Amino acid sequence: MSSHSAPQPRSPMAPPQSFLWSRRIFLSLLTVFVVLPVFVMVSSSLKPLQDVSGKFQWIPSGLTIRPYFDIWETVPLADYFLNSLIVAGSATVLSVVIAVFAAYAVSRYEFRGKRVFTVTVLSTQMFPGILFLLPLFLIYVNIGNATGIALFGSRAGLILTYLTFSLPFSIWMLIGYFDSVPRDLDEAAKVDGCGPLGALFRVIVPAAIPGIVAVAVYAFMTAWGEVLFASVMTNESTRTLAVGLQGYSTQNDVYWNQIMAASLVVSVPVVAGFLLLQRYLVTGLTAGAVK
Amino acid sequence: MTTTAAPDHTGARTAPKDNPGAAPRKRRSGRLRRISLPYLLLLPAVLLELLVHLVPMIIGIVVSFRELTQFYLRDWTTAPWAGLDNYALAVDFDAPVGQALLKSFVTTCIFTVASVALCWFIGTAAAIFMQENFRGRGFLRTLFLVPYALPVYAAVITWAFMFQRDNGLVNHVIHDQLGLTDSPPFWLIGENSFITLLVVAVWKGWPFAFLIMMAGLQNIPREIYEAAALDGAGVWQQIRRITLPSLRPVNQVLVLVLFLWTFNDFNTPFVLFGKSAPESADLISIHIYQSSFQTWNFGTGSAMSVLLLLFLLVVTGLYLLFTSRGRKATDV
């Protein structure tokens, strides 16, 4: 809020020079630190191969967009992309729908076990992934052997896993958004003959669209960037970008310009989405800690 | 998922809504429906959390008492019981397995303390410096969120490129341009890899601290600063006397979350170093991963995971106990 209004001095006195200079120096150094990898990623992706295989060069000997085309041949990037899109997309849609129902229940109803539910769900977020990686692997393998439903190595297994990763935070964020929709609105809708679900989808969901979009972006980012489970739960044909690119980058002879191009391509959608919606996301992400 | 919900659901719905002679029944089924509705809404979320988080955790505990090797993978229930053997193996610090685990644990502790401290310091300092409006503040704020928004692997792969010995930016600067070293050092193997890991983890982690602190600062009422300024307190004094104490409740949550995330970090070392991390950067998650999936000895791996869980629970419990002392229980 304060960022939109005119400059508001914190105190009637102007800050002293020592403060202003500390601020200038600190923020400049921090900016260099933050920007450096981004600079390397962008500039290297436009360099010819000899520039990235020899000594590092600040100024490229020439600019080329070839890496952006070659990388699709070097690694099956299109396959990785498709797998990541399917997995992250499905996990996002399912996670948002399930979170909307759960958040509606918590926000609008009183029931026994409500507090237990919210606390338990949130605390699962805090446990290390390695803890349930081994057992989940066993469960998926055994479900596959017993029923023939292939969860291990399949996209379905990964979708199922990822959607639960983003679920706790999504529910938490949506409870906040739903709470901010005035209760009178859905009470009025119920008086007009809407059922509980009618009130949810006709009144609350439309009013909380920014929050739902923010949750969707968060869920997509979570699934898009996950490495640990993808490295165990996928095979050749279901490999996601995270595992595919990681695997290629740790080989011996790496075409760094191509992999920087690939990294940039896979980053742009999520970074753009995050930055465009940062206001909504930040509100949701920080609400839990600050309140 | 939905099949389990079906009987309950239809039961509530087919209740005789418009049956004129059944007023009491109608009211009761209405109440039943009202009571069961929130549970139905929660059901998918609860089932999924059970399947992916809670049930595996219980199975993990059971498996940690079994001798589960690759021969029993097809059906883990046939693996023989091992009693406390897995735990004995994990904490026998004279034997290679226990020794490696202890070393990894110590490394993880040092890494976590250093990383959390740096993330906290940078995030807090940046937030305080950016509390007041100045030209370019909005732009910087957005820029500082980029490390947080980038997919982990894309960012870490870029750092891996920068830390390459022969063609990376880091060695170019410190060796070729500044001449600080006799020969270009290795950053992704050997002793230096701890520093590498720390730099990347801090780069990735501090924006979260910054975000939380920015939000925390907005809750401090302006009038306090104005009153302090009238009393003659300078900016530095205001930061020390007003800003930092006011941030204490936010700090409590932030430090805990940073601690848990850093301690359990798998992605950064995995993408940076590949499947086997160098000893000096062998974090506990990657250590357990490696000892489970390279030897296929899931029993020992599970025992290590359970020990990790116990450690985290104890630390979290003690932390909350100490930091909440003197504060109202409702604040936690």
Residue A282 lies in a domain: no
Kindly list the distances between the CA atom of residue A104 and the CA atoms of A144, A174, A188, A197, B10, in Å, as whole numbers in the listed order.
34, 8, 16, 9, 20
Interface test with A, best of B53, B263, B289 (most A CBs within 10 A): B53
Task: List, for residues B114-129, the tens digit of each pLDDT value.
Answer: 999 999 999 999 999 9
- Decide if A258 is inside a domain: no
Say which range, B168-172, B308-312, B327-331, has the weakest mean pLDDT. Answer: B327-331
Of A3, A35, A196, the CB nearest to B37: A196
Q: Alpha-carbon distance A7 to A121, whole Å?
A: 41
User: Residue A4 above 80 pLDDT?
Assistant: no
The per-residue pLDDT for B209 is 93
- Cβ–Cβ contact B242 with A under 8 A: no
Task: Write down how long chain A is.
Answer: 291
pLDDT at A264: 94
> Would you call A160 and B55 a contact, using CB atoms and an 8 Å cutoff?
no
Instruction: Give tens-digit pLDDT for A236-267.
Output: 888 999 998 988 888 878 889 999 999 999 99
**A51 and A84 both lie in a single domain:** no
Determine the residue of chain B that is closest to A113 in CA distance.
B39
Query: Which one of A216, A235, A250 terminates a domain?
Result: A250
Q: How confident is the model at residue B296 (pLDDT cuts 50, 70, 90)?
A: confident
- Residues in chain A closer than 8 A to B51 (CB atoms): 139, 160, 164
Question: Sorting pLDDT into bands at 50, 70 and 90, what band is B17?
Answer: very low
- Quote the pLDDT of residue A92: 95
Query: What pLDDT sits at residue A290?
Result: 54
Of A116-130, B94-108, B177-191, B262-276, the range with the lowest mean pLDDT is A116-130
> Which residue of B lies nearest to A20 if distances are taken between CA atoms?
B129
Does A264 reside within a domain? Answer: no
The Cα of A250 is separated from the nearest Cα of chain B by a number of Å equal to 6
Residue B195: pLDDT over 90: yes
| Residue B307 scores a pLDDT above 80 | yes
Q: A91 and A46 share a domain?
A: no
Residue A92 belongs to some domain of the structure: yes
Q: Are residues A89 and A220 in the same domain?
A: yes
Average pLDDT for chain B: 83
Interface test with A, best of B49, B200, B265 (most A CBs within 10 A): B49
Q: Which among B57, B146, B157 has CB closest to A132? A: B57
Q: Please check whether residue A170 is in contact with residue A95, taking contact to mean a CB–CB distance below 8 angstroms.
A: yes
- Check residue B24 and give its pLDDT: 52
Q: If residue B206 lies in a helix (H) or strand (E), which one and from where to where? A: helix B193-218
> Among residues B31, B220, B215, B2, which one has the least CA distance to residue A284?
B215
SS3 B232: coil
Asked whether residue A84 falls in the same domain as residue A228, the answer is yes
CB-count exposure of residue B299 (10 Å: 0-12, 13-18, 19+)? buried
pLDDT, residue A5, reads: 43
Pick the CATH number of B95-296 from 3.90.850.10, 3.40.50.300, 1.10.3720.10, 1.20.140.10: 1.10.3720.10
Q: What is the pLDDT of residue B29?
A: 62
pLDDT of residue B199: 97
Give the bridge partners for B38, in sequence order. none
Between B305 and A11, the more confident residue is: B305
Please report the ipTM that was assigned to this predicted complex: 0.86
- Alpha-carbon dihedral sign for residues B22, B23, B26, B31: negative
Output the pLDDT for position B26: 53
- Cα A157 off chain centre by: 19
In this model, does residue B30 exceed pLDDT 80? no
Backbone angles phi, psi at B224, to 5 degrees: -60, -45
pLDDT higher than 60, residue A199: yes
Residues A108 and A221 in one domain: yes
Q: What average pLDDT does the segment A50-72 reach?
A: 88
CA atoms of A283 and A163, how far apart (whole Å): 22
Lowest mean pLDDT segment, chosen from A160-169, A214-223, A272-281, B194-203: A272-281
Count how many domains chain A has.
2
Q: For residue B171, which residues of chain A lie inside 8 Å, CB to CB?
A: 56
Tell me, what's the pLDDT at A87? 95
Q: What tokens does B136 get? A: 């370019």
- pLDDT confidence tier of residue A7, bands split at 50, 70 and 90: very low
pLDDT of residue B14: 41
Name the nearest CA neighbour of A258 among A48, A37, A39.
A48
Establish if B291 touches chain A: CB-CB under 8 angstroms.
no
Domains of chain B, by residue range, sit at: 2-49, 95-296
Q: Between chain A and chain B, how many beta carbons pairs sit less than 8 Å apart?
A: 311
A106, A171 contact by CB (below 8 A): yes
Q: Is the pLDDT of residue A48 over 60?
A: yes
- A83 and A134 together in one domain: yes
* Residue A262: per-residue pLDDT: 93
Residue A240 included in any domain? yes
A243 and A135, same structural domain?
yes
* pLDDT score of B51 more than 50: yes
| Residue A44 located in a structural domain | yes
**Percent of chain B at pLDDT above 90?**
33
At residue B229, the pLDDT reads 86
Domain of A48, in residue numbers: 17-69
- Whether the pLDDT of residue A94 is over 90: the answer is yes
pLDDT of A120 above 60: yes
For A185-191, what is the mean pLDDT? 86
Residue B35: predicted pLDDT: 73
* Angstrom distances, CA of residue A162 to CA of A69, A220, A262, B70: 30, 9, 23, 26
Q: Give me the pLDDT at residue B25, please.
A: 52
Task: Identify the pLDDT of residue B28.
Answer: 58
Asked whether residue A220 is assigned to any structural domain, the reply reads yes
Residue B10 has pLDDT above 60, yes or no: no
Residue B330 pLDDT grade (very low, low, confident, very high; cuts 50, 70, 90): very low
CB contact under 8 A, B60 and A131: yes
Question: According to the per-residue pLDDT averaged within each range, which of A70-74, B3-7, B79-83 is highest?
Answer: A70-74
| pLDDT of residue A193 exceeding 80 | yes
User: Residue A288: what pLDDT?
Assistant: 57
Please check whether residues A53 and A108 belong to one and the same domain.
no
Predicted local distance difference test score (pLDDT) of residue A113 = 84
* Distance of residue A263 Cα from the nearest chain B Cα, in angstroms: 5
Contact call for residues B304 and B291 (beta carbons, < 8 A): yes
**Å between A186 CA and nearest CA of chain B:** 15
| Shared-domain flag, residues A99 and A240 | yes
Summarised one tens digit per residue, pLDDT across range B205-244 is 999 999 989 888 888 888 888 888 888 888 888 888 889 9
Q: Are A275 and A38 in contact (CB under 8 A)?
A: no
Establish if A260 belongs to a structural domain.
Answer: no
- The Cα–Cα gap between A290 and B232 comes to 30
